[in-house]
Amino acid sequence: MLLRNRLSLMFMAFASMTSSGDVLPMMLRKALARNELTPYVQPIYNAQSGKLVGGEVLMRWHHPHLGNISPERFIPLAERHGLITRITQYAFQRVAEEIIANNSINFHDMTLFFNVSAADFKNNEILRECRAFIQKTQHTDLHIGLEITEREPVHNTSMAQGICEQLEALGVTISIDDFGTGHSNYHYLMQFRPRYIKIDKLFTADIDTDETKEIIVRNIITLARDMHCMTIAEGVETAAQKEKLIAMGVTHLQGYYFSKPVAMATFFTLAAQTPQ
């Protein structure tokens, strides 16, 4: 009981400190330097064949004293404090290191999606990270996807469009993350010309019983088809959700029904077991 109370007090202190905006940047910088952030992958499956076709890289932060800190807490704050590009770079580097350490893995044309934000399109650093990743992992038949969040606008549209053109030339695919929940989502479609549109779990939850959500998801799927995009439905947790989304025409599925986010080593095992 004493230990539980102490941990509770520590977490309350953490929440208070991070709300001031002063301590979190320092803690995150130390976490990046100490390798406290670890990449996990949540698998993505083809809706028709059920085959594993890729995964979303999700960073997990295990603080030595505070324990696991939710990405829902530290990612938005990192964006506000200008640290999100550091986390993006860190994710690319850590995943590449893991792949190089397991260089016998053949990913059979799979795609790993990395979460990026508008801040990553303010300069050419994202291009350098993608080129470096491709160079390091070129023997693996693995592709890169970038999931762009809608939490903030992209101001320099000409630079962003130029970067997207160069990313496309590298074979990097673009996905609009959490479509319909964030900032200027239709503007994002015009600006980034994505290959994938990701349907947020806000809409997929109870899709089999909620008529309003069904209408919204059906409209997103229709829009994606008209734009020659594929769709990824996240937050799939039940067989009823899965069957409903497949019947509606979603092309890819992701969620706890299939797998929770897993350590890189576990994802490598799943990839190795997937038939070509």
Residue 3 has a pLDDT of: 52
Residue 8 has a pLDDT of: 52
DSSP the chain: -HHHHHHHHHHHHHHHHHHHTSHHHHHHHHHHHTT-EEEEEEEEEETTT--EEEEEEEEEEEETTTEEE-HHHHHHHHHHTT-HHHHHHHHHHHHHHHHHHTTT---TTEEEEEEE-GGGGSSTHHHHHHHHHHHHTTTTTEEEEEEE--SS--S-HHHHHHHHHHHHHHT-EEEEEEETSSS-HHHHHHHH--SEEEEPHHHHTTTTT-HHHHHHHHHHHHHHHHTT-EEEE----SHHHHHHHHHHT--EE-STTT---EEHHHHHHHHHHS--
Which pairing describes strands 173-179 and 142-148: parallel, antiparallel, or unpaired? parallel
Q: Write down the pTM of the prediction.
A: 0.88
Amino acid at the residue 6: R
Average pLDDT of the chain is 86
CA–CA dist 71, 42 (Å, integer): 14
Which of 118, 129, 231 minimizes the C-alpha distance to 172?
129
Residue 18 has a pLDDT of: 47
Are 58 and 116 in contact by the 8 Å Cβ rule? The answer is no
Check whether domain 38-273 has CATH 3.20.20.450, yes or no: yes
- Give the start-to-end residue ranges of the domains of the chain: 38-273
Are 118 and 153 in contact by the 8 Å Cβ rule? The answer is yes
Question: Burial, 161: exposed, middle or buried (Cβ in 10 Å; 0-12, 13-18, 19+)?
Answer: middle
CA–CA dist 40, 56 (Å, integer): 8
Q: Tens-of-pLDDT digits for all 276 residues of the chain? A: 555 555 454 555 555 544 445 676 788 788 888 888 999 999 999 999 999 999 999 999 888 877 888 888 888 778 777 788 888 999 999 999 999 988 777 788 899 999 998 778 888 999 999 999 999 998 888 999 999 986 666 666 788 889 999 999 999 999 998 887 765 578 788 888 899 999 999 999 999 999 999 999 999 999 999 999 999 999 999 999 999 999 999 999 999 999 999 999 999 999 988 887
**Structure-token pair, residue 192:** 């980034």
